[in-house]
Amino acid sequence: MAVKEERAQKVTKISIESLKKSFRIFKYIKPYKGYFIAAMFFLVSGSLIFMALMGLPGEMANTAIGAPKFKLNISVKDYGWVFLIILIVQGVLSYFRTIFFAIVSEKGMADLRKDLYDKIITQPVTFFEEKRVGELTSRITADVEQLQSVFSITLAEFIRQVVILISGVIIIMFWTPSLSLIMLMTFPAIVIVAMIFGRYIRKLSKQRQDELAKTNTIVEETFQSFTIVKSFANEWYESIRYSKSVDQIVKVSLSFAKIRGVFFIFVITILFGGIFYILWRGALMVQAGSMEAGDLFSFIIYTGILGGAIASFGTLYTQIVSAVGATERIQEILDTPTELDIQKVSSSQNLRLKGEIIYENVIFSYPSRKDVTVLNGINLNISPGKKIALIGQSGGGKSTIVQLLMKFYNPDSGNIYIDGKDIGEYNLTDFRKNIGIVPQEVILFGGSIRENILYGKPNATEEEIKEAARKSNSWEFISSFPDGLDTIVGDRGIKLSGGQRQRIAIARAILKDPKILILDEATSSLDAESEKLVQEALDKLMLNRTSIIIAHRLATIREVDCIYVLDQGKIIEQGNHYELIENENGIYNSLARLQFELQ
């Protein structure tokens, strides 16, 4: 018994928490409350007029047989004009109600999408390591669309049916009290069953959205890496993987449909069974002379409307409950702390660093692999404007050193200082604006060459863009294209060669004009001609900047000021090329002999 009570309390608590989260989404409607109130006014007014209109046919029938229930002083002939006027008014009210609800839902959900995107884009690197792109895409598209549908259609319809139900009950209780009591007896059973079924419907709806997110993830991954898929001839494998995911959605959806179907069976059986019983009783009363035929006609119309309203609650309720699940997933992201406040980025200071870098006994393990120490007591001292190189085997900690410098992660212990100040004390946006990176695998955005270069400095002039292109040895191939800077590079820059992409990345870094430059294997995957052009551009880029070069090819780092050799997270050798080459037993010496002999 105690276990059951505890479980019941837990379910209640979850439901209350879910509702709280759902109501928090309404803050996006608040700025448009004027439109919302106006829409509600037109909705309620239209619904009441509709209910009044439905009583007129019965009263018209009573008037035709000379026994009107109300003294309206309207002839049967004049009822045609009354119907026409009411229908026109009803149409106008419905039009404005639709427009105002659309304004509220479109603008409110647009604000939600913006906030959700801002929240995701300002998350730390660890967030994206834990989440998959397809899942996040599903949150910002499918879940928000589900909410938008609720705010634009479902919520309005739900409120409309509530108004119809309440006003209809009042009308039939006034019109035919004896028959109305029989009908109202069916309400409590339907409400109780709706609450029971709602719990299962909400659970299955959330599960379906999660499965849909997994499917989107597969699509994102395969489309983004289609060259890998094709090079391994794994179209069949991806097809099977996607099919299994879609089949899982179908399985959950069918379970969802079965629960809804059972619910609808119950509602229809109780509801329409009651309606037919009431009509039978009404027919007996007309036969006995205790009710006018027009009153029975009106009661039939109102009963049908109320029956439709009650039946629609099943669909509307499941849609609203499904939206609660979407709200929970969205709110989960909105409640996640970010690494910066995007609203304050535009007001950030114009920080200009000198470029002195000090690592002081830095120890670090990745959050997802705390049992593996990646950096173990790293000490570096880099003077402003100097060029240093990091070499060593894969997994030695080279990339981790620069990731810590860019504040993608925080050290477990030890400190990193820039210009004598701990990097944790700098404003994150201002700090990162002083760091430029040219990676081994350049990823360009799918727009034009101009847009990709401008990414380094969005407010740059046309001449600054061209100058950056010249310094990066890009202008020659850019000017050879018919569209020049407006040439579309394709998804991830696929229309450009590796060397061209690399030089665009260098132009982007030149335009950014950072004081600290990171080159991560920037020429390792290029042919000899492209490497020469890129290396020339890099040499120009490194002038008067503190530069950190991650390299496997020692020929590219001969002239740097200091080389650090890493092994298992520790610096085991340091010095310039000529100093390290003299240590015959050193790792650098053996690597140099191997590479230069092979060359």
Last residue of a domain, one of 334, 357, 376: 334
Across the chain, mean pLDDT equals: 78
442, part of any domain: yes
371, part of any domain: no
3, part of any domain: no
Verify that 172 and 275 share a domain, yes or no: yes
Name the pLDDT band for 417 (thresholds 50, 70, 90). Answer: very high
For the chain, how many structural domains are there in total?
2
Verify that 32 and 161 share a domain, yes or no: yes
293, part of any domain: yes
Q: How far apart are CA 230 and CA 173, in angstroms?
A: 70
Last residue of a domain, one of 300, 334, 368: 334
The tokens describing 288, both together, are 């006995």
348, part of any domain: no
Q: Which of 28-42, 186-200, 225-239, 376-390 has the lowest mean pLDDT?
A: 186-200
pTM score, whole prediction? 0.69
pLDDT over 60 (residue 8) = no
Alpha helices by DSSP H, listed for 140-186, are 144-149, 155-175, 177-184
Q: What is the pLDDT of residue 7?
A: 41
Query: What mean pLDDT comes out for the span 445-469?
Result: 86
pLDDT over 80 (residue 426) = yes
Verify that 306 and 448 share a domain, yes or no: no
CATH code of the domain in which 519 resides = 3.40.50.300
Verify that 166 and 266 share a domain, yes or no: yes
Verify that 315 and 439 share a domain, yes or no: no
Verify that 305 and 450 share a domain, yes or no: no
Query: What mean pLDDT comes out for the span 346-351?
Result: 63
374, part of any domain: no
Verify that 462 and 319 share a domain, yes or no: no
Verify that 148 and 247 share a domain, yes or no: yes
Query: What mean pLDDT comes out for the span 176-200?
Result: 65
Name the pLDDT band for 12 (thresholds 50, 70, 90). Answer: very low
Verify that 313 and 458 share a domain, yes or no: no
Three-class secondary structure of residue 418 per DSSP: strand
Q: What is the pLDDT of residue 330?
A: 82
Give bridge partners of residue 547 from the DSSP assignment: 387, 517
Residues 538, 496 contacting (CB under 8 angstroms) = no
215 vs 419, residue with greater confidence? 419
Three-class secondary structure of residue 232 per DSSP: coil
Q: What is the pLDDT of residue 361?
A: 92
254, part of any domain: yes
Q: What is the pLDDT of residue 231?
A: 61
Q: What's the gap between Cα 312 and its chain centre?
A: 31
Last residue of a domain, one of 334, 350, 375: 334
CATH code of the domain in which 270 resides = 1.20.1560.10
Q: What is the pLDDT of residue 230?
A: 66
Three-class secondary structure of residue 435 per DSSP: strand
Identify the domain containing residue 288 by its residue range. Answer: 17-334
378 vs 302, residue with greater confidence? 378
359, part of any domain: no
